[in-house]
Amino acid sequence: MSWVLKDVLLYGEGDPVDVLLTDGRIAEIGNGLGAEESLEGAGLVLLPGLVDLHTHLREPGREDAETVASGTLAAALGGFTAVHAMANTDPVADTAGVVEQVWRLGQEAGHCDVAPVGAVTVGLGGEEMAELGSMADSAAHVRVFSDDGRCVSDASLMRRALEYVKAFDGVMAQHAQEPRLTVGAQMNEGVNSSKLGLGGWPAVAEEAIIARDCILAGHVGSRVHICHVSTAGSVELIRWAKEKGWDVTAEVTPHHLLLTDDLAATYDAVFKVNPPLRTQVDVDALRQALADGTIDCVATDHAPHALEDKETEWGAALPGMTGLETALSVVAQTMVETGLLTWRQVAERLSETPARIGRLDGHGRPLAVGEPANLCLVDPGARWTVDPAAMASRSRNTPFAGRTLPARVVATFLRGRATVLDGKPA
């Protein structure tokens, strides 16, 4: 089936054009084009399909919280055409068999491409390196490895893993948390943690690991990616590492661009996350770092949880927030409406750069004739109120419930096939 997207603004710029999609690619860009199906896009912004480097799909093992099918449908509704599925499933994605299972489930669901992330260590245990080579050679073609949810705290093991992935251009994605500095931690360490009587999570616990791993990556000449950066000090360390010329990249989550640790005063565990919400000073530093390129991209860290794991007392609740269906809107509010990013730069931070870091061919490509038709059509003027019950995710732990956010995804196309139309599953 062929589609023509009528009168759309490429990257939100220039004059409106028609974009013809045929055989999974952008066939023509011009005016007065026709096709079997037509979508009126007057005033809408056309972007390359979004790519998430950090998604928890929970399958296998916690299908009560999320499945590959439900999570990727949520992703498509959020404008994503590819997601990287983190390894902390049950069983852990530490073998070729498990990563291939996750990859095939994504193929079967068909909402967006799923690139499994392989575990760095066996069972996320932090002691024995997993089968990185066999996962890289598998049908899933794994290129990103992470023990996310846990830090690879052993410096010797981290060095060996960095050396190993060089052979196939892999990247180590580190959850930066020195475990000995976060024993009993429940929220950001600071004035609020003292007032609330909750165990503090010091910024230095993140920053110490980032400093160590940047130095290690520079020493062995390998690639390291820092997950969910949350502190102003982390920003300065990443900036320093890049000035050294080391192959270091970093991501920030939408919730760390908007929310602060003041919300812990509600004792509502929906605001408990790993790493924790920080201060307004940190939020401002993260926004500026994303704008100037110190932080390379936005990643959702979509972390769905079953009701009983979040609607409980703060200390017993699991950390994490959903984010796939709200990510673009939060970025629009914090970065576009503030003048820190243009829509073209949003395409870079949410599509082109994460696709490059994850080595995903066919995603994050330019809006040009001959390129794959992985696309996202956005209404920048829309306003919508977040309703957890209306979301595609099986879980309801969004920190944005009841908030009115700007910009909404109107349509998503995966290789020219509509997965979302008029903001609903196609």
Amino acid identity for residue 227 in this structure: C
Amino acid identity for residue 238 in this structure: I
Residues 384/404, Cβ–Cβ less than 8 Å: yes
Q: Looking at residue 184, what DSSP letter applies?
A: T
Strands 25-30 and 17-22: antiparallel
Q: Does a cis peptide bond (omega within 30 degrees of 0) precede residue 91? A: yes
As separate numbers, helices (DSSP H) first and strands (DSSP E) second, the chain gives: 13, 19
Query: Which of 372, 332, 349, 394 lies closest to 53, judged by CA?
Result: 349
CB-based burial, 50-73: b 16+ in 10 Å, e otherwise: bbbbbbbbbbbebeebbbbbbbbb
Q: Looking at residue 345, what DSSP letter applies?
A: H
Q: Looking at residue 288, what DSSP letter applies?
A: H
Q: Which of 147, 301, 309, 379 is catalytic?
A: 301
Query: Which of 417, 332, 344, 321 lies closest to 375, judged by CA?
Result: 417
Hey, CA dihedral for 60, 62, 67, 71, is it positive or negative? Answer: negative
Strand partners, 47: 376
CB atoms within 10 A of CB 274: 20
Query: Does the active-site annotation cover 301?
Result: yes
Question: Cα separation of 404 and 383, whole Å?
Answer: 6
Angle between helices 155-165 and 203-220 (to 10 degrees): 40
Element (H, E) at 377: strand 375-385
Query: Which of 117, 147, 148, 150 lies closest to 135, judged by CA?
Result: 117
- Residue 383: partners with Cβ closer than 8 Å, 6 or more residues away: 404, 405, 406
SS3 145: strand
Catalytic machinery residues: 301
